[in-house]
Amino acid sequence: MTHPDNTDVVVRQKRGNPTAVLGTISAPAQFKFRTRDKAVGQALAFAKHQHVRAWFANDDDDFVLLGTFRQEHVEPARSS
């Protein structure tokens, strides 16, 4: 199972609570939103700007990948 990296953006929401928080795995939540939809929209925007992945996590830390914006660096093939 895939998990977020320390720099990935994570939306967390506790069951039964309409508010959601936005942060990373390695730091406490930095933003609080009234709805999950607003938090997810902001997470996707942050992830796109920072070229990282955006995740959603519930109480049990079951992670769902929302989007990936990483730029893979591909080495050009060498000619002989």
At residue 51, the pLDDT reads 95
Q: What phi, psi does 50 have (nearest 5°)?
A: -95, 0
Name which of 31, 20, 18 is nearest 57 in CA terms: 20
Do residues 33 and 22 touch, judged by C-beta distance below 8 A? Answer: yes
Backbone torsions φ then ψ of 36, nearest 5 degrees: -65, -40
pLDDT one-digit tens code per residue, 24-41: 988 888 999 999 999 999
The 9-12 sheet, strands edge to edge: 31-33, 20-23, 9-12, 53-57, 63-68
Q: The pTM is what?
A: 0.82
Given a cut of 90, whether residue 77 has pLDDT beyond it is no
For CA atoms 36, 53, 70, 46, the dihedral sign is: positive
pLDDT band at 62 (very low <50, low <70, confident <90, very high): confident
